[in-house]
Amino acid sequence: MNKSLAKIIDFCRRNLAWVLLVIICIVFSFTNPNFLTVKNLLNILNQNSYVIICAYGIALIMMSGGLDMSVGYQMSICGVVCAMMITSGVPVIAAVIVTILLSIAFSMLATLLEQVLKLPRIFCTIGLSTVYQGLAYVITGSKTISGLPAAFKVIGQGTIFHPSLTYATVFMVIAGLIMSFLMNRTYFGRYVFALGGNEAASRLAGINVKRMKYLVGGVAGLFCGIGAIVLCSRVGAAAAGTAAGTEITVLTGVLVGGVSVRGGDGKIANCVAGVLIMGLLANGMQLAGLNTYYQFVVKGAIMLGVMWFDAFQMGRRAIAANKRKEEAIAA
């Protein structure tokens, strides 16, 4: 019985985000009978598909030991550029490719600044976020770019198999499976975790740390660009502040998913659950008739709670490690 209980506790600990997700679903199902309907759950997936796609890249950066705070306005300026190209007559496919390449370039720029200025990525991206914000408003003149063609809108609005299942959601699932495979089954994933666990040790082990950081930044930029395209096509328009605040939702979701702010740990599947928790809370509070502004309070409280829990866990691990060292010395 004790072993069975220990296994259950261990499973819940390793999959805490999914356990919380189930609990939230059960709670909100009592507040509104429409919450657990297939249509509503698929709508939640569709609404958060761009956030989850972006979270794949941010989770990768965090697992490697970095933090990126520019993703919101990076997505905004990418969406603006994409919409402007399309409305200017550039073919949709060409505009999408250029937008993704631009996003990759932005993420690699953050890595370059990190290397040149010898600063943590978080400080570089805070500065870049303000730059992207200003550029987005300058380019658009604070106006919304609309009139996007149906061929572009289908990316975020087109459905498949079910009236409420979009192409974006299907891509989100496929991309998640690919990322999980890369992180769990390839040397790339091992190098990312090694880099986040101990950069100096990774360098001594023969890992090209600089190249890995650029590679991680490039992959993060790829997903950020795709997320921007999905959001822009889903909304059917683009503006300088379209994705503002996305970085907080993504960061909170990834932290809830179990990725440490110190890097070296985490699972893509749990990150998806973490972002979905944020989406479910927002949807559940709306159905319950709560004011939208309460969502900001809840997000902030969750982020503080998760960061405290992460610090608490790190403290426990450090104490346990020191205790083992003392026992080894005494022996």
pLDDT for 321: 67
Q: Classify residue 91 as exposed, middle or buried by CB count within 10 Å of its CB (0-12, 13-18, 19+).
A: exposed
Beta strands in 137-253 (DSSP E): 159-160, 162-166
Task: List the beta bridge partners of residue 166.
Answer: 159
- The domain limits of the chain are 42-309
Dihedral sign for Cα 242, 244, 250, 256, please.
negative
Task: List the beta bridge partners of residue 238.
Answer: 145
Q: Classify residue 40 as exposed, middle or buried by CB count within 10 Å of its CB (0-12, 13-18, 19+).
A: middle
Query: Residue-wise pLDDT tens for the chain (331 aa)?
Result: 567 777 777 777 777 788 888 888 888 888 778 788 888 888 889 999 999 999 999 999 999 999 999 999 999 999 999 999 999 999 999 999 999 999 999 999 999 999 999 999 999 999 999 999 999 999 999 899 998 999 999 999 998 888 888 999 999 999 999 999 999 999 999 999 999 988 889 998 889 999 999 999 999 999 999 999 999 999 999 999 899 888 988 988 898 888 888 887 888 998 999 899 888 888 777 777 777 777 778 778 887 887 787 777 777 776 776 777 777 777 6
pTM above 0.95, yes or no: no
- Which CATH fold would you assign to the domain 42-309? ABC transporter involved in vitamin B12 uptake, BtuC (1.10.3470)
pLDDT for 222: 96
Q: What is the dihedral of CA 192, 247, 278, 258, to 10 degrees?
A: 20
Q: What is the dihedral of CA 102, 168, 286, 276, to 10 degrees?
A: -90
Closest CA to 140 of 81, 87, 196: 81
